[in-house]
Amino acid sequence: MTASRLRATLVAVLLAGAVSAHAEVRVLGVEFFPPEFTVGQEVTMSLSWDAAGQHWQPERISEGLPVSANGPTLLWAETFERRGRPVLSIGFIAWQPGVSALPALRLSGREFPSIPLKAVPILNSVGRAAPEPFAQLEPGGLRSQLYLMAGSALALGLFALFAALKLLPWLRALLAHWAFLRARKEFDGVLRYLRDAGEQGADAWAVLSRALKRYLSSRSTVDFLPLTSGEIASLPLDRVVGGVLPDAAAILIAGDYLRFGARDPGNLSAALDLASALADRLEDAAMEQKARERGTKP
């Protein structure tokens, strides 16, 4: 045999060995555990093949496994011998219901073909439709308790309305009494301020006149603020109890004269004393009138 023929023979033998080594194995059987599986369930596939006296080494891999966009996710793959027969075992999870396939895989120097599989939808494992919800359990006496609570709320609302209607006149009287007391307190505060300030000019008389009108309005049904001093002087005496209208008119007339015409600042101190005495007489007369009104009520 020539050298060239020997080289050709060796190349042919190597090529034949390479083709044999990379050819797909002859599958003898495929099993899934569990035999039926649902989407999202971890499954083990076992494939037995005919080694035909070929030498191979057991191998296990859990990284670098083929990845499919829509197919199952491979968890691991290994080859081993079971009862004298070589076996390929693959752990996987199917994410799509229906028919799909495990990708082709090379392990232990062997090419394993793609293996078809079928995953069952989860609903199929419990029936064709989602289970109906159970009827809501009603605790014993619930309706009676609800009726009782509603009745109690209604009774409470009616009682609150009745109490508000009964208390409304009392509240109005209380507010009026507070306003009555506050008016005298504010008037006394103005008089005290003018005394402490020691002013004698037109501004001081203006403050006194306005404070006096506000105080008289709180003790009468007449609004004194828009009235002039002459109009107040012409009012009937009984429009304010205590017969204080003449003194009040005198203070207001003096205030107008000193504010708008006279150069003399006037005697503001005497006017403050007269206003204070006027308020005392008015308060005493008002208390006597209320006492008479209470005494005449049945």
Counted residue by residue, the chain has a size of 298
Going by C-beta distance under 8 Å and a sequence separation of 6 or more, which residues neighbour residue 88? 46, 47, 48, 49, 77, 78, 79, 105, 107, 112
Are the C-beta atoms of 232 and 248 separated by less than 8 Å? yes
Going by C-beta distance under 8 Å and a sequence separation of 6 or more, which residues neighbour residue 58? 78, 79, 80, 81, 108
Instruction: State how beta strands 59-61 and 98-102 pair.
Output: unpaired
Q: Which residue has the tokens 């501004």?
A: 203
Rounded CA separation 233/253 (Å)? 9
Are the C-beta atoms of 253 and 230 separated by less than 8 Å? yes
Are the C-beta atoms of 74 and 64 separated by less than 8 Å? no
- pTM, two decimals, is 0.42
Residue 191: how many CA atoms within 13 Å on its side-chain side?
20
Distance of CA 149 to the CA centre of its chain: 27
Give pairs for 63-70: CB < 8 Å, separation 24+: 65/105, 66/103, 66/104, 66/105, 68/103, 70/95, 70/96, 70/100
Based on its alpha-carbon atoms, the radius of gyration of the chain, rounded to whole angstroms, reads 56
Longest dimension (CA), the chain: 159
* C-alpha distance from residue 227 to each of 155, 231, 250, 279 (Å): 52, 6, 14, 19
Per-residue model confidence as pLDDT tens for the chain (298 residues):
443 343 333 333 333 343 344 568 999 999 999 999 999 899 999 999 998 878 899 999 999 898 877 889 999 999 999 988 999 999 999 998 989 999 999 999 999 999 999 998 877 665 555 556 666 666 767 778 888 888 888 888 888 877 767 766 666 656 656 767 788 889 889 889 888 887 777 888 888 899 999 999 888 888 988 988 889 888 888 888 888 889 988 988 888 887 776 666 678 888 889 999 999 998 888 888 888 877 665 4
